[in-house]
Amino acid sequence: MNSDNREYVNWDADIPVIRYKALDDTGCVEHGFSTRLGGVSGGHFRSMNLSYTRGDNKEAVDKNFERFCSEIRIDWKKIVSTDQTHTANVRAVTEKDAGHGIIRPKTVFDIDGQVTNVPGLVLITNHADCVPLFFVDPVKKAIGLTHSGWRGTAARIGKNTVEAMTEYYGSRPEDIIGVIGPSICQSCYEVSEDVAEVFLKSFRVSDRLVYEKPDHKFQLNLWEANYQVMVDAGMRPENITVTRWCTGCHPDLLWSHRKTGANRGSLAAFLCLK
């Protein structure tokens, strides 16, 4: 498991982007994870909101997408957006999906993960505490991007993404480079006993995964859970980078539903084959 030195961001840039050296080193993708900074939205969306579903002005969101995508050298009109509903469903996308949910209406629903081998097609997922999972196969030139909340994590959507890349593109799990991106950390993520029990029953259990507080409430580590899912899917531990950025710890820099509630914007993860 790698962290810290493989995750970097220039906070002095006009549009800060969280990036990963492991993905850079593949030489075959453009990628990035947004922050709250560098956009044009106003009010409680200020300033980089990357979702059309929060109530923000469409023209502002369009401009935010255009600005952010220009910064990471991809075409915002080739984005394929998902209708995230906390499922474990993964879909393969092709050229005909370009612009889905961005410049044309969504027609596919209940999808939380996407895979493709089409250069220039931009996969995105939206976040405000849930975990973004990046997958890059530099051998077969295939990618996957997944939104993994506690339900998706419990249902092992990360494993489903690896299996989809294997099925559609012939990827080998041991070749895939993975990133567990910015999301809520264990210290900020309190869950009910019934949610904790889901993980205690089906994951390798330690205080690193779930710990019980003196008040009998539970703290869940989605980073550790998704790491276990990736390793169990056949990915090499040394090929997995884990974030150091918690949305809950840094609500001034990253959107967090837990910290700000429904009056907020949305972060986004982006992944595109060159």
Pair of tokens at residue 238: 């040394």
pLDDT tens digit sequence for 69-108: 999 999 999 999 989 999 999 999 999 999 999 999 998 9
Judge whether 136 lies within some domain. yes
For tokens 């001034």, what's the residue?
252
State the amino acid at position 101 in one-letter form: G
Buried b (16+ CB within 10 A) or exposed e, 20-46: bebbeebebbbbbbbbbbbbbbeeebe
User: What's residue 101's pLDDT?
Assistant: 95
pLDDT tens digit sequence for 181-227: 999 999 999 999 999 999 999 999 988 999 999 988 899 999 999 99
Judge whether 220 lies within some domain. no
Count of other CB atoms within 10 angstroms of residue 270: 27
pLDDT category of residue 116 using cuts at 50, 70 and 90 = very high
User: What's residue 207's pLDDT?
Assistant: 86
User: What's residue 1's pLDDT?
Assistant: 57
Judge whether 2 lies within some domain. no
- Mean pLDDT, residues 32-42 taken together: 98
Q: How many domains does the chain have?
A: 1
Closest CA to 259 of 128, 140, 163: 128
Count of other CB atoms within 10 angstroms of residue 14: 9
Whether 191 contacts 219, CB under 8 Å: yes
Judge whether 13 lies within some domain. yes
Average pLDDT of the chain to the nearest whole number = 96
User: What's residue 2's pLDDT?
Assistant: 52
- Give 183's contacts (C-beta < 8 A, 6+ positions apart): 127, 129, 130, 131, 132, 222, 223, 243, 246, 247
Which residues does residue 178 pair with via DSSP β-bridges, in sequence order? 135, 240
User: What's residue 114's pLDDT?
Assistant: 98
CA atoms of 94 and 239, how far apart (whole Å): 26
Judge whether 207 lies within some domain. no
pLDDT tens digit sequence for 239-252: 999 999 999 999 99
Judge whether 219 lies within some domain. no
pLDDT of residue 25 exceeding 90, the answer is: yes
User: What's residue 216's pLDDT?
Assistant: 87
Count of other CB atoms within 10 angstroms of residue 234: 16
pLDDT of residue 50 exceeding 80, the answer is: yes
237: exposed, middle or buried (Cβ count in 10 Å: 0-12, 13-18, 19+): exposed
Judge whether 153 lies within some domain. yes
Domain span at 36: 7-184+235-273
Looking up residue 178, the CATH number of its domain turns out to be 3.60.140.10
